Chain A
């Protein structure tokens, strides 16, 4: 186990709705990254948070937003859900000393109908 926990495990939403996914990072890790993994694909980087601020963003529209809290936990918010947002959303935590060494949670499976 990586010590990274995500909730909920599964979620079903309808097109146009909004969703919030949550992540608790591994103890001692203060950097959180979010990834989207479509079925049969590799994870794609959404953004990273460090010191409660966005610290790097991938090719995702502004309706994907996030938060990081003082205890280093994090949220991913997606507004105006589209069918193509159906995917596994992964959270990964890392130490600021080496943000590349990332440990992933089990993910949240989001289905948009």
Chain B
């Protein structure tokens, strides 16, 4: 119940295309869903986050779509760029507790 399942494991997208990464969870107590971007040799960087009272949040080229009934959320990267090539992690936590449960990660490669 504490798991967050992330797919796909790896993704190759052409420059200018849309990258889509999906996550699913079981614990209905989760109420905070962030996405992190991690480059090799670096720590995860907070990209965008959503709470379940909204179904979509957009920041620049990054959009989170949230489906509470399906217990799924996804990250869309519009106009993907080679500089977006990194590993992306979804995460979830419950009730301001601060214990983030991470997905397994998606390695994104954007080809020029």
Contacts and interface: CB of A to CB of B under 8 A. Distances in A.
B49 interface: yes
Given A40-B105, A43-B89, A56 B41 contact: no
Interface residues of B, number: 24
Contact of A31 (B41, B98, B102): B98
B99 A42 contact: no
Which range holds the interface residue count of chain A? Answer: 20 to 34
Interface in A27-43: 31, 33, 35, 40-43
A2 B104 CA distance: 23
Contacts of B93: 100
B60 interface: no
Contacts of B45: 2, 104
Given A41-B105, A45-B101, A99-B96, A106 B89 contact: no
Contacts of A33: 98-100
Interface in B76-108: 89, 91, 93, 96-105
B54 interface: no
Interface string B32-53: 1010100001111110010000
Given A33-B98, A94-B98, A100-B34, 4 more contacts: A33-B99, A43-B102, A48-B98, A99-B97
